Structures are given as structure tokens and as C-alpha cells.
Structure 1
């Protein structure tokens, strides 16, 4: 059975924990979304590791990585990706990211075309400029019971089914219950730049082959998707019927197939 080993990369004093699935072939780096964790990609990693070197990253502030980094700028997230690729000797690599992880992947591809050979965005795009999102996200985190008394309570609260299971897998068990492995304030600060502006110029600078996967019921609306294709008509866009924002948790089989086919080109 294919499994992973934990690898640690330190950049500017910030510890980054990675799930290194090994595998032969071109490297693929997987980036989770806001408040997520590297384990969300386990199903996709198993699928991809048959033909790729696969690494899933707990991004700064998340999971097993540094819980309270001082710098949560978009530039810091991007620099972390390149540091992981350098320390693990990944060479030229493909980037796959969901939600905020997809945004990080897009910025990395735009800034480092010599390193990123392919880009796959899952429920992510260059749109932004919505200040109200900070209060909405902060309010959602405030609504979480802390701690959750039992794991099944967390699964139910976080959406039930595979989505709830995926989110609950990122919690840590303590004597008094199940706790998030992130600081809510750090998460809100990580979104501040996206709340102030959009990133269409960076989207236009992406030069590598690009796949955009959108859930039929996700948060990337039709107008944003249409503008993405208008500006970069060579982008391959796929909508997953019945899926929401967490396509990678809801339909890992479909996403795994899409990624395998795209990255094989």
C-alpha cells in the first residue's frame, strides 16, 4: 500500500510540514485551502503517485506547520512553495491547489514560470476585492464549538459525509475534546490581501498549461470563470456536476482522473 512520510522544511524560521508520497516521475505539489490540511489530498495523492513524485504541504499556519507565523502575506505563502520544492529537490514541478491553496499556486506559477510546468486550480480563481469576506469567515470560525466533544460531532457540524470527514481529519485530539489545528485570527489575516484586491494581472502572467476545475455548486461564479477563459482561452475548464467548493473531498475519483489526464500531457 502506498503511504507517505513526513518531511519538514524550515524557511525564515517558519516550520512547514509536508506529506511526501514519493513516487517516480514529474513532481506534483498539492496545496490545501484556508483552514485545511495536507491530508485532504490523500485520495488524490494515492491516485497520482503511480506516475508522479507527490508532495502535499501543510501551509504556514495550518496543520502540522507553524501555528502562528508573523507573515501571512500572499508572498510568504508563495515563497514557502518554492522553498519546499528546493529543499525536497523537486526540480520543475506541477502545482495543484484548492481554494486559497489554488490562489497560492496561481501566484507561484505567475512569478516563477521557470519552475512551474503545469497548474491545476480547484475552485479557485483570481477574483477578490470583497472586504465583507473577512467578517463572514471570522464569524464562521467563531461559530465552531471549541472543542468539539467528539469526532462525530465535528463531522456533522462541518458538513457531514466525505466533506465533514475531510475537515474533521484536520482536528487534533486533546484531553477535553477535538480542536482545530489553526488559529482563527491567523486565518482571517491570511485573507486580507484577497479582500482588498483581485489578481487578474497575475492570472494573465501564467504561461504554463492550466486546468480549472469548478464545482457546479461551488463559489467560483460563472462570470469569474468566463473572464478567466476570456483572458486565457487556452485554459482547460471543467465543471463537476453536483459538487460544491470541496470538490477534492466530494468527488476525489473524478478529480483524480482529471488531474492524471491533465498532468500526463
Structure 2
């Protein structure tokens, strides 16, 4: 991880009910106390000068990765948002990355993920942050915004939606995770396997692996990942979607293999939230944030700056007819 402008992030820890959560706190440009890419603990205070309008500050952002992912997936997007004037925090969700791999309370429910996000917001002093989540992180963001409408300024879902139930999802995902040929003998081998032919995706996934004496290993337990999908396998979240009260942007993939949100689901999302802003990006799949971080950043910044007029509203944007690139 490199930065051409300034040092990058510091590691911060939040503890909720005995579960330790690791966060990458990117701060904002020119802020004292920034650390190097090694992620060393910062000694700055909780206030840190993050709030206020001076210096073109554009508000706080919380980034939430997907299942079996890690906070580092957001590095490119986080740096761009930070350099645009936002304070940015990326969370390793419970069971992932630098957070507790096997939560001591055994709870990997949707409610636990939401409570973690709220704890990070409160303990790190994020003021009405924009919640941005990809895939399962988008589910966390959606449910947090629905349960705590006073918390977010806006919501951005990347390849995420409320549809369900998906009875076979645990078997499918569990089989895939257990099939990883670990340990990977090299970074190149991990990139080739995890990228599915897309280097940017492979690099993003490989960056989350742990280096041991015998090779590279995932920093998660496949069985914990499978359990975290219990609710997604049995129910949809349309009531929570309908309850959303903040401006919302949905960004979907439109690559060779497509994204995971179909036209029918998106149409229902629009019907229930007519003010929704949405777009799909040609040439991207499920990992939009890894494939096109610059485009994603511009969509987010434009959406926040002008309420979304720069993004196609629900008019066919994600129905396979029109797209924004």
C-alpha cells in the first residue's frame, strides 16, 4: 500500500461486549498524528479536530467490507475520500481481519454486526457518518441505517440489497471458502486464485491474508462466515429497506458475470424507495470497489455534494437498459 500524497492510516480498536474490533482510521489531509501504512496506533485524542467546516471538511464516513473480506479492501476508496476532505474509518467486521476471529460471545447475527457499527461510530466520535458498505457490509449498513435513523447522513450500498431468502447461500459460500487451496505458497498464487481473472480483485483479497511460515492463510474461520449468513438464508430485509429515511445511493456491477442484484429486486427497491439513486458500472462485477475505486469515489462524492443529481435516479439505471460509467 502506497500513498503519493500523505501518510495513510492508523489502527484503532473498539471493544464491545468483550469483542475487539480493529479499524483503519484514515483521518483527513493535514491532520497531525497520522501514521504510516504499517497501521501503528495513533496517540491523538478522540476529538482530533475532525468536526467542523474549516478546511473544506466534508463529513465522516464509515466503510464496511463484505463477507470474508477485510478493511484493507477499501484502501483505494478510503484514500480518495480522505483526500476529498472526509474523515474515513474502515472497520474489520467481527470475525474478519484484525478483529476477533472467533467472537467471544459467539454472536455473528445481523444485530451483532449492527451493534458493532454503532459502537465504532460512538467510540471513535463519528458524527452522522455516511455509511458505505459492499455486499454483506452493505447489509450491515442498511440495517444500521434502518434501526438507527438518527445516525447516518446518507447510505451507499455497493452490490447490496434487501432481497432474500437465499436457502442455499450457506452451502454455496461455505463450499467455496473450504475449497481455498490454503496455505497459498505465494502472493502471486493467491492473487491468481482469488481474482478469478481480475488482478485488482485478486490483489484486494490477497491483501487480507496472513503470512505464516508455511504460506498465506485467510484471517477468518469459514464456519464463522457460514454462521453469519443464518438470517440471509432465511429472510429478506424489505421492511428495513422501506424504513430507510436517509438519502441512498446504490452502485451495482455490470460485468461479464454480472452483479448479484437482479432487475426484479432493483425495481422493487425503487418502488419502495422512489427517491433512490442508482447506477450500474459496465465492466465490473461484485467487487466494484476493487475494480473501479476511482469511479466509485466520484459517484459517492457527486451524490453527497448535490443530493444525487449527478447519478441517474431509478430511471432504468440498474435495469440493464442504461448505465453510468
Q: TM-score range by the shorter chain?
A: over 0.9
- For residues 81 and 295 of structure 2, the distance between their equivalents in structure 1, rounded to whole angstroms, comes to 13
Equivalences for 1:160-179 in 2 at 5 Å?
160-179=198-217
| TM-score after normalising by structure 2 | 0.80
- Partners of 1:158 and 1:98 in 2: CA distance: 17
Cross-structure match for 1:17: 22
Q: Distance in 1 between matches of 2:19 and 2:141?
A: 19
Bigger share in helix: 1
TM-score scaled by length of structure 1: 0.98
Give the aligned partner of residue 250 of structure 2. 212
Q: Distance in 2 between matches of 1:25 and 1:207?
A: 20
SS of corresponding position for 1:264: helix
In the alignment of these two chains, the number of paired residues is 265
Equivalents in 2 of 1:100, 1:20: separation in Å? 21
Tell me, in whole angstroms, the C-alpha distance in 1 between the residues paired with 2:284 and 2:293.
11
* C-alpha distance in structure 2 between counterparts of 1:243 and 1:79, whole Å: 31
Counterparts of 2:110 and 2:150, CA distance in 1: 19
User: Does the alignment pair 1:155 with 2:191?
Assistant: yes
Question: Shift of the alpha carbon at 1:2?
Answer: 4.1
In structure 1, C-alpha distance between the alignment counterparts of 2:294 and 2:129, rounded to whole Å: 22
Q: Give yes or no for the alignment of 1:7 onto 2:40.
A: no
Over 4 Å off, 4+ runs: none
For the residue of structure 1 that corresponds to 2:294, the secondary structure is: helix
Alpha-carbon distance in structure 1 between the residues aligned to 2:86 and 2:21: 21
User: Which segments of 5 or more consecutive residues in structure 1 lack a partner in the other structure?
Assistant: none
Does 1:88 find its partner at 2:124? yes
Once the two structures are superposed, residues 53-111 of structure 1 have per-residue CA deviations (whole angstroms, 9 ceiling, x without a partner) of 11000000000000001100000000000100111111211100000000100000001
Distance in structure 2 (CA, Å) of the matches to 1:109 and 1:264: 20
1:158 partner SS: helix
2-structure distance, mates of 1:2, 1:213: 29
Greater RCO, CA 8 A, separation 6+? 1
* Structure showing greater Rg: 2
Q: Deviations 1:105-136 (Å, cap 9, x if unpaired)?
A: 00000011111110000000001211111100
Which residue does the alignment assign to 2:313?
A: none
Counterpart pick for 1:136 among 141, 165, 172 = 172
Residue 239 in structure 1 maps to residue 239 in structure 2: no
